[in-house]
Amino acid sequence: MAASNAQGVNEKHDIVDAEAGGMRKQNTVAALLNGEVDPAHCTGILAAFCFMTGFIDAISFSAVFVWCGFQTGNFIQLAVAIARLWEPGEPRYFHKPDQQALASLIAFNAGAFIGRIGDHVGAKRRSWLVGGSFIATLFTMAAAVAMYRSGQDVDPIASNRGDPAWTNATTFVALCFMSASLGIQGIIAKRLNTQFGTTIVLTTIWVELMADPGLFRFRERVKTRDHRLIGAGSLFLGGFVSRALLAKIGAAGTLGVGTGIRILIMGAWLFVPGKL
């Protein structure tokens, strides 16, 4: 009898210990997701963001000469298109590239607006960084699917501005999803407030790099200079890799690769050290 009672007590203790262990594990995961990352340790991920900017932009520019991330150019193109409507002999409608630039501009801002969710959750909170990157991943994946279904991925590289490779409605959908993915990426990076800026607009980075007091201190590690150079180099590499893939596997396949990279970025947020 005593042995049976002792065995019962031990089993109860085992159950309690198992439940306590499960609770501790849940609390650990919750603490990880609810904690804030240290922006000083986000260099690798932000460099990957810059890589994705070059990667996505190379696809859209090669096909329709529109930058999904360079909305200054798209906005000026829209202004030129509107001014052209009053010129004698010009058609009273937007040309296809103008329509694509407008679609990209609207979608980019829509993606950035979705990124405002982070202001309510916590811009540096790990749960938002993972969630926001997940949304960007979904947008990139949707662009890949739309491009695959478009029927215009046989030759994804345009020969000149007057003959874009993408012209049907499904390619417009793909272009919009690509732009939206960069929009939400930009606001995620901007809220971290690092030398990488938005990871999208490199013009500001170039100006700040040229104005950096430590630009020519080659024997020293200058964080402000080095991080900007990393961002510019990553963007260049992204464009190079994207165009190389585009010529081999088409836009849909290249966007599929981009989706895989975004999944890796999403998971990488879990390993960024938190604030002490």
**How far is it, in rounded angstroms, from Cα 145 to Cα 157?**
18
Exposure string of 189-202, with b = 16+ CB inside 10 Å and e = fewer, is bbbbebbbbbbbbb
Domain-located, residue 244: yes
128 inside domain: yes
Of 273, 263, 272, give the one whose Cα is nearest residue 133. Answer: 263
User: How many residues make up the chain in this entry?
Assistant: 276
Q: Which residues of the chain have pLDDT under 50?
A: 9, 16
Model pLDDT, residue 8: 55
pLDDT value for 203: 84
* Signed CA dihedral, 243, 245, 246, 251: sign only: negative
Give me the pLDDT at residue 13, please.
Answer: 54
- Residue 72 and residue 68: Cα distance in Å, rounded? 10
Residue 77 has which token pair? 């193109």
Query: What was the pLDDT predicted at 191?
Result: 92
Check which CATH number belongs to the domain holding 212 and give it: 1.20.1250
| Beta strand ranges found along the chain (DSSP E) | none
User: Is the residue at 5 inside a domain?
Assistant: no
CA torsion angle 51 57 62 65 (round to 10) = -150
Closest CA to 113 of 200, 46, 186: 186
* Residues near 70 by beta carbon (within 8 Å), at least 6 away in sequence: 57, 200, 201
pLDDT at 16: 47
Q: Quick one: pLDDT at residue 155?
A: 83
Q: How many domains does the chain have?
A: 1
Residue 186 lies in a domain: yes
- Tell me if residue 161 falls in helix, strand or coil: coil
Instruction: State the Cα–Cα distance between residues 165 and 216, nearest whole angstrom.
Output: 44
CA dihedral angle for residue 251, residue 256, residue 257, residue 263, rounded to 10 degrees: 150
Rounded-to-integer distance, Cα 178 and Cα 141, Å: 9
CA nearest neighbour of 52 among 191, 209, 242 = 242
Residues of the domain holding 168: 39-271
Residue where the block lists tokens 């630039």: 101
Answer yes or no: is 159 within a domain: yes
Which pLDDT belongs to residue 23? Answer: 54
Would you tell me how many other CB atoms lie within 10 Å of the CB of residue 98? 18
| Burial class of 148 by CB neighbour count within 10 A (0 to 12, 13 to 18, 19+) | middle
Q: What is the pLDDT of residue 85?
A: 86
32 within domain boundaries: no
- Taking only the tens place, the pLDDT of each residue in 131-160 is 999 999 999 999 999 999 998 887 888 877
Residue at 220 is within a domain: yes
21 is a domain residue? no
